[in-house]
Amino acid sequence: MVAKVLSADGFGLWGRTLEVEVALSSGRPSFVIVGLPGKSVCESRDRVRSAILQSGFQFPQGRILVNLAPAFERKDTSPLDLPISLGILLASGQIKPSSRVCAAAGELGFI
């Protein structure tokens, strides 16, 4: 299953629009983020997994591939935690997509 979530980050003076694409497939469990993620984005794997489980949802077993587009620009912001989480929940069918176009940006943390 594949899901796409629109997001944005602070890039330069104006910022930029990003697309977070999540693909789930069967196979050996893995969680990979591609598309020139910075260190803070790579560390989001643990925050996303914990937040999904703490919210009462199931974390998918199998392969999770997250693509951050556009792939030619580095992403160094943690506000991609929320769109990655939403993409995983959408791709796994745990939440339904909205009929409206919307975007999400936000960092996840522990209470």
Q: What are the structural domains, with CATH classification, of the chain? A: 2-91 (3.30.230.10)
User: pTM for the whole thing?
Assistant: 0.93
Using one digit for the tens of pLDDT, what is the confidence trace for 17-59?
999 999 999 999 999 999 999 888 888 999 999 999 999 999 9
Q: How far apart are CA 26 and CA 110, in angstroms?
A: 29
- Band (pLDDT 50/70/90 cuts) for residue 1 is confident
User: Which are the contacts of 42, defined by CB distance < 8 A and separation ≥ 6?
Assistant: 33
